[in-house]
Amino acid sequence: MSVSDIGLIASIAVSSTAGFILGFVTGLVPGLHVNNVAAAVIAYAGTMLGCFAVMGELLGCDAPGLLISCFLVSALVSHNFSEAAPNTFVGVPASDAVSVLPAHRLAKAGLGWLAVRSSIDGSMAGVLLATVMIVPVCLCMGPWIGIYAALKTVMGVLIILFSVILVLSDRGSNDPISDSVGDRARIAMIASGLFTTSGLLGMVVLESDYFCSDLSPLPFGSEPISSSSLLLPLFAGLFGLPTLLLSLSQEEGAYVEMARGIKLSPGTYRSESLLAVFGGLLVGWIPGMTSGSSATLCAIIARKPLGEGCGVDASRRFIWLYSAISSAGAVLSIGALFVILRARSGVMDAVTIFLGDIDPFDGEMGDLVAPCALLLSMMLSAIASHSLMQSMRGILKRGAKHLLSKRLTITCIIFICVLAAALTGFRGILLMSAACSLGLLPPRLGARRIHLMGCLLVPISISFLTG
């Protein structure tokens, strides 16, 4: 091994460590997504390149763009692990909420740590499974077998088909085993309305430039707001703020004690492992697919009960599957980036900027340096994150009361609003308000929140059908 190779490995390790620390911290902050971190890194690209260039020079690596990319993907993975804590303990709704997220359901039962442990175990499994399967997936989806090229010709139809399955499969969260024709018809109508309305909202953001391209700058922003930036208030309004607002009616300090005397057999997830790879492939390669929508589709295909409205075992399995798909999708998206040159997340968009022009992989070993470096960073971050989260059980037990406090919930709401105002201006605040009004409906009406992903699926399907 040459000195330059040692310098490269050392630089990757340092970059991965820095990314791991940043991503772990951002994951613990409710409402802060790692894509926002990627956007900030892009905004200060010159400074970041300078810092990593200095570090690379000290360690013997002259590739600052690659090191920043390793930093970003490491942050992406560690964020997926640490967000399990706020996702479980922050925003737990009151008992009158019809629809309750699986992690919140376990927290309400005193099994918050079970939700966290299921999430971090799923994330670790997702990284391992995707790392093993990334080469076969690339061979099948890439030009060698050509599955993606074949799917691309009918992508719009496939997205519509998935959307129909998503809507018709919802039996309602209040009584998940109800077979009443009237109840199922009512839920289907509600789901269709939510999906369509969120789709129209997504069209406004992604296709129309918010109908404001000719308007003068508004408060909080001096430049026209890009549609990609408006995804922050859109998703915060649809998913983040409603959960926090509904939790304000909960009893102060409720659901803090960890349940005792409940013995659960160790979770075995053999059947979910295959679903995790398939779901990760959808997230990493198919446009518009998120971890939540992919996990829901996989659960429907496998005829498994979904987390909302189900028992402890079903909830923990859905949490495991969701987390595994999220991490597997992050890993497999590297294959999509280097094989078909498509970035499927904000972090991967940033990676394309810092790596520069990427040529499609043609089998040359020299082309493997960048993807292997990114995979190594993800693996190192996953191992460190899993170990650190396992050691946090006592901390979460002692701090759960503070995580469930109304004061923290209000602080999170203010933080999200300030962040949206700072990044997207007054237009973003208006968009987030409209999205929040829509996002409050599913929990009250007993429908799944996942129908609100129509905000992405509708514009993307129309784009493929008309393109």
With H, G, I as helix, E, B as strand and everything else as coil, classify residue 33. coil
Per-residue pLDDT at 120: 95
Q: Which pLDDT tens digit goes with each residue over 35-66?
A: 778 877 887 888 999 999 999 888 888 899 99
Q: Which residue, 25, 65, 13, 83, is CA-closest to 350?
A: 65
Q: Which positions ≥6 away from 58 have C-beta within 8 Å?
A: none
Query: Which region among 158-167, 195-204, 370-379, 420-429 has the lowest average model confidence (pLDDT)?
Result: 420-429
Q: Which pLDDT tens digit goes with each residue over 262-283?
A: 554 445 677 789 999 999 999 9
Please tell me the number of Cα atoms within 13 Å of 393 on its side-chain side: 12
Which residue would you say has higher pLDDT here, 330 or 179? 330
Position 178 pLDDT exceeds 70: no
Position 225 pLDDT exceeds 80: no
Domain boundaries, the chain: 3-466
Per-residue pLDDT at 76: 96
Asked whether the beta carbons of 76 and 22 are under 8 A apart, the reply is no
Q: Which pLDDT tens digit goes with each residue over 293-322?
A: 899 888 888 776 554 556 788 888 889 999
Position 98 pLDDT exceeds 50: no
Confidence of residue 227 (pLDDT cuts 50, 70, 90): low
- DSSP codes of every residue in 380-431: HHHHHHHHHHHTTHHHHHHHHHHHT-HHHHHHHHHHHHHHHHHHHHHHHHHH
Asked whether the beta carbons of 100 and 93 are under 8 A apart, the reply is yes
Asked whether the beta carbons of 238 and 450 are under 8 A apart, the reply is no
Per-residue pLDDT at 268: 60
Cα four-point dihedral sign 271, 272, 275, 280 = negative
Position 374 pLDDT exceeds 50: yes
> Distance between CA atoms of 80 and 347, rounded to whole angstroms?
13
Query: Which region among 19-28, 100-109, 118-127, 263-272 has the lowest average model confidence (pLDDT)?
Result: 263-272
Asked whether the beta carbons of 427 and 230 are under 8 A apart, the reply is yes
Residues recorded for the chain: 467
Mean pLDDT of 9-22: 95
Which residue would you say has higher pLDDT here, 381 or 262? 381
Average pLDDT of the chain, as a whole number: 83
Q: Which pLDDT tens digit goes with each residue over 338-350?
A: 999 998 888 998 9
Per-residue pLDDT at 193: 95
Which residue would you say has higher pLDDT here, 178 or 148? 148
Instruction: Kindly calculate the radius of gyration of the chain based on its CA atoms and give it in whole angstroms.
Output: 22
Mutual angle of helices 155-168 and 181-206, in 10-degree steps: 140
Position 172 pLDDT exceeds 90: no
Per-residue pLDDT at 210: 55
